[in-house]
A and B are shown apart, each in its own frame.
Chain A
Amino acid sequence: MKYKNSKIKYLLFSVILFSAQTVFAAEFSLVADMNEIKIEQDFVVDLYINTEKENINAVEGKIIIPNNFLTVSEIRSGNSVVNFWVEKPQVSGNEIIFSGITPGGYVLDEGLVLSLVFKAKKTGLTQINLADFFALKNDGNGTKAKIKTNDLKINIVSLGEFSEKDVTVFDKEKPETFKPEIGRDENMFENKWFVAFVTQDKGAGISGYEIRESKYKILNFSKWQPAESPFILNDQDLKSYVWIKAIDQKGNQRTVRLDPVNPVSWYANLDNWIIIILAIVVFYALRKKVWKKHSKNQQ
């Protein structure tokens, strides 16, 4: 009996010790926007991080989807605490793998990492699991923080009437302003110049980027082409303007322009000649008009 008591005491102390140690673990949690889901119904699941007072600047993880119960219809990362995705969240089989960083880090009790839109396929009790999650401290060494993950249980019930919940994002705003950077490195792309760019869209999220290069701003007949960062520049002499267009999931666009690093001399810039010719034409037209008026007055 006494032995049993001491066992209980051991257990109690272990629980106290365990809970004391787990208090400061960064916690990843999945939160669904509804409790009970019906077949064919769309619903949103958010992945949050509670950093528990730690300053975290990098996260990585794997979300395991029960493919027989759920289909992923959309991944949203627009409003994420992650600024730069090292691995952009993408569906691969029954997994969504991601990793990303936030320069300077953050201490948050409810930081949104990403959102997933699911469609329920069949009834039953199922679970979305979190595996291989990491959170690294903003300490200059990339020290791993203690973490805790909370999976999400989902109850999918039979087909029936359900009030259609609109999971679409209302987004009329352009993607965020951004500042592309030109760089090169002897260890990649044969030391060719490339342009690096990234932005966020706080609404539906970024869909993609397009790029075009031209030595001339006015006489620009170059075509937009899809691009991913880093993008090797066509003009390795860096004499061209570079336009980069960020497009969000709703088609809203933001275009930014980089001026040439080594602009062409004024006489080689066709834009200048266009302006000069136009100015001459206008000058002669005005002169002719004034001359006509003048000669009319003299008559």
Chain B
Amino acid sequence: MKIKFNKQLAFWTSSIFIFLICFSAKADVYNSTNYKILEPVVSSGGEYSSSASYQLQGSIGQIGIGTSSSATYDMKAGFLYFPFVSTPVVSVSAGNAQVSLSWTSASGVLGWTASGYNVGYSTVSGGPYTFGSSLGNVLSTTVSGLNNGTTYYFVARVEDALGNVIATSSQVSASPVAPSTPGGGGGGGGGGGGIQSTTIIFSGKAYPKSVVTLLKDAQVVSTTVAGTDANFQMTLGNVSTGNYIFSVYSEDYRGIRSSLVTFPVSVTFGTTVNVSGIFVAPSISVDKSEVKKGDDIAIFGQSAPNAEIVISVHSDEEYFSKVDSDSNGIYLYNFDTSILELGEHTTKSKAAVLSLISGYGQSTSFLVGSKNVSATTTQKCPAKGDLNNDCRVNLVDFSIASYWYKNTLNAAMKTKEIEKLNGDGKINLTDFSIMAFYWTG
């Protein structure tokens, strides 16, 4: 009897434990010295939290008569905690009465998960778009039954597990074309069936007046300068049929490189592929390498003009703040470190402007300690992977690492490996992965 009871107890205990493990990843707990709310429903984009079983009420204002008002500041109340889903980069390629679309996977954070996608199209720029049923968790589709010669405008929607739309890509257009008929009769001149060139047009946002670099299969193929609105466009011609990994990065006003935005593109012969909605993540720096606990640390960088920047400060607990970038895309946030524990912390940022939402950019670290130490120089060179110290991570560094791959390192290379790679005293795939992350081409 006792054994039976123990088994039952063990079963239910473990069941509850397993249940908690399965679901605690999704539950968000917000703690305060004054109150505690479990599993808050956080919504953005004009929606409100709702539940049949509870109601959350709050008020902000002075206890006395009158209401706070200011034209120069805004106050954010509630959960300072900004869930988001990055918008996909969409590629379209026109065919005969059809258009093929592919898009990058949208990444959601803080409770939002991209669980499915849908594609809408319209013959009018800006919509309204016609959507079919959800496509499920796929990264490509073909819209057929279209009229050749008509320009169609497409958007890709990101859906959560319940089918709610949680992000929408920027619009991209394509015009289906009938296959060219060979030759044709008369006339002098050169042989028919001339080779059609395959072209890819890339467009998106970087930083105002910044140099934007395009990499094809990790090798630099083009650079351009973004406009004052941070928009850029690049065209790559004579591309062969096949699958490519393209990447884009930019440099901010101080010459600091962004992280790579990478997107696979499949190219078919004789078509024009439009890749739209590339949004380079913000650059980020801090004014102190060590900050005295309780003092402010300035977190700053560049993104698109008038973008909403979400700054995350990551330690045991993750803290979020929001600030807008100015007309030059520059943002600055003074973060009060009194809430941080002593020790090393990292910070990163992402941006949202119009319907575009970037992913998080590279992170930078700082120490919370007992004194303030200015960040000496802004780090323009990649933090890791640059084995020959030329401020680039490219084929030369790859060659140096390949030379030592699975071989015993000499003393000088050991030092370099500790400084520039993962510091385990050998060159293996992990070191190459670090290089791939910091790659500049």
Contact = CB atoms under 8 A, between A and B. Distances in A.
B212 to A, nearest CB: 15
A124 interface: no
Contacts of A138: 433, 436-437
B392 to A, nearest CB: 9
B21 to A, nearest CB: 7
Contacts of A112: 243
Nearest to A84: B398
Contact of A6 (B8, B104, B394): B8
Contacts of A184: 388
B27 interface: no
B235 to A, nearest CB: 15
A130 interface: no
Contact of B7 (A3, A101, A136): A3
B11 A102 contact: no
B256 interface: no
A86 B400 CA distance: 11
Nearest to B396: A183
A197 B15 CA distance: 57
A53 B86 CA distance: 13
Interface string B384-402: 1001101000111011101
B438 interface: yes
A182 B261 CA distance: 26
Interface stretch (A65-73, A172-180, A235-243, A285-293): A172-180
Interface stretch (A10-18, A147-155, A274-282): A10-18
Interface stretch (A26-34, A114-122, A186-194, A213-221): A186-194
B69 to A, nearest CB: 45
A176 B433 contact: no
Nearest to B387: A185
Contacts of B8: 6
Contacts of B216: 176
A210 interface: no
A103 B395 contact: no
A152 to B, nearest CB: 22
B388 A183 contact: yes
Given A16-B22, A142-B429, A186-B412, A198 B395 contact: yes
A83 B217 contact: yes
Given A3-B7, A16-B22, A181 B433 contact: no
Interface in B205-240: 215-221, 240
Contacts of B439: 103-104
Contacts of B405: 86-87
A188 B400 contact: yes
A102 B245 contact: yes
B14 interface: yes
Contact of A188 (B104, B219, B221, B403): B403
B434 to A, nearest CB: 5
B429 A187 contact: no
Contacts of B260: 103-104
Interface in B1-57: 4, 7-8, 11, 14-15, 18, 21-22
Contacts of B416: 187
Contacts of A102: 218, 245, 436
B412 A10 contact: no
Nearest to B269: A173
Contacts of A142: 422, 429-434, 437
Interface string A96-135: 0001011111111101100000000000000000000010
Contacts of B413: 187
Contacts, number: 182
B399 A141 contact: no
A106 B399 contact: no
Most chain B C-beta atoms within 10 Å of own C-beta, residue among A57, A103, A138: A103
A196 to B, nearest CB: 4
Most chain B C-beta atoms within 10 Å of own C-beta, residue among A140, A184, A194: A140
Contacts of B18: 13, 16-17
Contact of A86 (B410, B429, B437): B429
A108 B241 contact: no
Contacts of A13: 14-15, 18
B435 interface: yes
Given A102-B436, A106-B264, A196 B218 contact: no
Interface in A1-27: 2-3, 6, 9-10, 13, 16-17, 20
A60 interface: yes
Contacts of B21: 17
B177 interface: no
B321 interface: no
B243 A57 contact: no
Given A58-B436, A141-B434, A185-B388, A107 B429 contact: no
A225 interface: no
Contacts of B245: 81, 83, 102, 104, 106
Contacts of A107: 104-105, 107, 139
Given A6-B8, A106-B264, A196 B431 contact: no
A10 B14 contact: yes
A134 B400 contact: no
Given A55-B262, A196-B396, 12 more contacts: A20-B22, A58-B432, A79-B243, A99-B429, A101-B429, A101-B432, A103-B439, A105-B262, A107-B104, A108-B264, A181-B394, A185-B403
Interface of A: 2-3, 6, 9-10, 13, 16-17, 20, 53, 55, 57-58, 60, 78-79, 81, 83-84, 86-87, 99, 101-109, 111-112, 134, 136-142, 173-174, 176-189, 194, 196-200, 202-203, 229-230
Please list the 10 inter-chain residue pairs (A to B) with the smallest Cβ-Cβ separation, ordered nearest first: A202-B242, A183-B396, A103-B439, A142-B430, A104-B262, A142-B433, A104-B260, A107-B105, A58-B433, A136-B433
Interface of B: 4, 7-8, 11, 14-15, 18, 21-22, 104-105, 107, 114, 137-139, 215-221, 240-243, 245, 247, 260-262, 264, 362, 384, 387-388, 390, 394-396, 398-400, 402-405, 410, 412-413, 416, 422, 429-439, 441
15 contacts: A13-B14, A58-B432, A78-B242, A86-B402, A103-B262, A104-B247, A109-B139, A141-B430, A142-B430, A142-B437, A185-B403, A187-B412, A188-B400, A196-B398, A203-B240
